[in-house]
């Protein structure tokens, strides 16, 4: 009996150990230091929901977008247990939640204007997952959960040259980290390059339900370009 339990636990541990973890495999994108650095970010594929409004609103549009994203993310991950087979599938840890944020007519962010926020809430996909696979997952989730997941879409985002920094603390304290980033790029001959396609970007590494505000870890990333002379 003990041998059986040990064997089962060992198999489970091996499965967990072998799961591909983006945070560990691509530390340059997910685990930067808490001081600004320059990074060239390649194109990545996501499942995404676009929306607007205060992300702190209880049961609001943003909160619902997160629920939808995780439903589709785990439907894709667990496809291995269904009759639907994704070409090239390998087991992986679902990557962290991310968000692209902007306010119309404004470069950067004004944290006091949360009701004016526009956002793309998203979760990265492994490269082997295609738009066809995402559409399957949406239909599957629609049937099983009896909810409408049609707002979720497959999206490719190519960020390119950016400055990023690990922010530790409350989301409302992010302006201090952004100030460090702005000062860093000026010293190094760059400037911010915000546009309709290049936005303030955050990657949420902490579970806000289990982490005190002063210990939250968030990657902040801004698009930059060489400063015009």
Residue 141 above 70 pLDDT?
Answer: yes
pLDDT tens, residue by residue, 15-56:
445 799 999 999 999 999 999 999 999 999 999 999 999 999
Residue 149 above 90 pLDDT?
Answer: yes
List the Cα angle 164/203/221 in 5-degree steps. 20
| pTM for this predicted structure | 0.90
Place of tokens 């204007």: 113
The predicted structure's pLDDT at residue 103? 97
């Amino acid at each position: 009996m003990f041998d059986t339990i040990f064997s089962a636990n060992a198999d489970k541990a091996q499965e967990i150990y072998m799961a591909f973890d983006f945070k560990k495999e691509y530390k340059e994108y997910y685990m930067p230091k808490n001081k600004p650095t320059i990074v060239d970010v390649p194109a990545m594929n996501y499942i995404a929901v676009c929306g607007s409004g205060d992300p702190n609103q209880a049961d609001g549009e943003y909160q619902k977008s997160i629920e939808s994203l995780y439903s589709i993310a785990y439907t894709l991950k667990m496809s291995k247990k269904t009759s639907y087979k994704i070409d090239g599938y390998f087991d992986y840890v679902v990557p962290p939640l991310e968000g692209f944020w902007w306010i119309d007519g404004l470069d950067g962010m004004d944290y006091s204007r949360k009701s004016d926020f526009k956002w793309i809430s998203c979760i990265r996909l492994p490269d082997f997952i295609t738009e066809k696979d995402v559409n399957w997952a949406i239909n599957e989730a629609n049937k099983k959960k009896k909810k409408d997941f049609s707002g979720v879409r497959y999206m490719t985002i190519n960020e390119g040259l950016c400055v990023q920094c690990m922010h530790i603390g409350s989301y409302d304290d992010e302006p201090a980290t952004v100030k460090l980033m702005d000062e860093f790029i000026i010293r190094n001959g760059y400037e911010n390059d915000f546009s309709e396609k290049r936005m303030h970007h955050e990657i949420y590494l902490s579970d806000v339900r289990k982490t005190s505000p002063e210990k939250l870890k968030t990657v902040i990333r801004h698009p930059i370009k060489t400063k015009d002379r």
